[in-house]
Amino acid sequence: MKKYYYFLLVSVLFLTAWISCDVDHGLYPIRYMIKGKVRFLRGNAPANTDRIEVYAIKEFPPQDYQNFLYTGESGALDYTLGNEIDYEVQVDPTQYDAIVLLWKEKGYNIDLTGLIGIHTTLEQYPLPVSVKVSKEQPIADSVDIFSDWNKVTKDASISGNIFYSGKWPEPEDTELLLVVVYNKKPTDENTLLFFENIDYTQPLFVKSSSYRLLVSSGKYDYIVIFWVGKDISALTDIIEIGFYQSPDNPGEPGTVDLRAGGEAKNIDINVDFSKIEFP
């Protein structure tokens, strides 16, 4: 008799827990999912590739590029399949600021410095497009990620710190920051939007931060940080807020010249918000 009551109690507890889960018309648990294709536009996987994974990120940019908040990951994808790879990520019902593809180098942890692909559109590139999953739409399909192996097939790096002074723009006006390394200073819209070397991961509303970008060996004449507002109508509306200045000629852009295997460190940028006019 005691065994019977014990079995009955366990059955009731199990049934109660099952009913309390998200269900579809009282029959089956809902599976929330984001799925699509990873599309590689250029390049090939470097020899030091450990794996690639898709992450659904709730807050982008994160306050810490190493400890970013996500609720779903695809697991390792087989990058030997070619330039198009199907992926699925099981998630919670909420909105995701960015769906990204991260590259992990052998011997290193995976983090946002290995971002090689992002879900976006032609109109929004290179900014991420958010994705929402809900009970009404439990599966977000065709969430394609445009990726570029050339972002990690680099043979040199540039790193430094960014120091902020003055009052930041209001949070409701600020979307993210972009650190961009150009071979030449942009002179028109086409060269401005040619983001060959870009860092999306800078935290907002801080006193300082650091960056490190993998680049190809060569000469770089303009290392700059842009502010991106939430209500911009076109990417040309991004605002330059600081650039690396020449140590010998302050106020003028500094130049970095790198050989293969070279590392340019302490390429610092100072931002003074009091001198910048925002919309």
Q: State pTM to two decimals.
A: 0.69
Give CA–CA dist 157/211, Å, rounded: 10
What three-state secondary structure class fits 174? strand
Asked if residue 186 and residue 106 are part of one domain, the reply reads no
pLDDT computed for residue 151 by the predictor: 84
pLDDT computed for residue 20 by the predictor: 39
Asked if residue 160 and residue 113 are part of one domain, the reply reads no
User: Diameter of the chain by CA atoms?
Assistant: 90
pLDDT band at 133 (very low <50, low <70, confident <90, very high): very high
Q: What CATH number has the domain bearing residue 196?
A: 2.60.40
pLDDT computed for residue 182 by the predictor: 93
Q: pLDDT per residue over 70-96, tens digit each? A: 678 999 999 999 999 999 999 999 999
Residue 124 scores a pLDDT above 90: no
Residue 24 scores a pLDDT above 60: no
Asked if residue 243 and residue 220 are part of one domain, the reply reads yes
Asked if residue 269 and residue 162 are part of one domain, the reply reads yes
Residue 4 lies in a domain: no
Q: Please, are residues 46 and 116 in contact by the beta-carbon 8 Å criterion? A: no
Residue 14 lies in a domain: no
Asked if residue 246 and residue 132 are part of one domain, the reply reads no
Domain closes at, from 117, 132, 150:
150
Q: Which domain holds residue 254?
A: 156-275
Q: pLDDT per residue over 135-156, tens digit each? A: 999 999 999 999 989 888 888 9
Residue 166 scores a pLDDT above 80: yes
Average pLDDT over residues 100-127: 84
Number of domains making up the chain: 2
Give CA–CA dist 174/91, Å, rounded: 26
Give CA–CA dist 248/245, Å, rounded: 9
Give CA–CA dist 36/86, Å, rounded: 6
Asked if residue 172 and residue 265 are part of one domain, the reply reads yes
Q: pLDDT per residue over 170-206, tens digit each? A: 999 998 899 999 999 888 766 665 667 888 889 999 9
pLDDT band at 167 (very low <50, low <70, confident <90, very high): very high
Instruction: Tell which residue, 211, 210, 164, 202, has the closest CA to residue 62.
Output: 202
pLDDT computed for residue 63 by the predictor: 65
Give CA–CA dist 50/57, Å, rounded: 21
Asked if residue 115 and residue 40 are part of one domain, the reply reads yes
Asked if residue 246 and residue 209 are part of one domain, the reply reads yes
Number of neighbouring beta carbons within 10 Å of residue 46: 15
Give CA–CA dist 277/239, Å, rounded: 9
> Percent of the chain, pLDDT > 90?
57
Residue 21 lies in a domain: no
Domain closes at, from 126, 150, 174:
150
Asked if residue 190 and residue 93 are part of one domain, the reply reads no
* Mean pLDDT across the chain: 85
Asked if residue 171 and residue 121 are part of one domain, the reply reads no
Give CA–CA dist 183/215, Å, rounded: 10
Which one has a higher pLDDT value, 71 or 269? 269
Q: pLDDT per residue over 206-244, tens digit each? A: 999 999 998 999 999 999 999 999 887 677 788 999 999
pLDDT band at 27 (very low <50, low <70, confident <90, very high): low
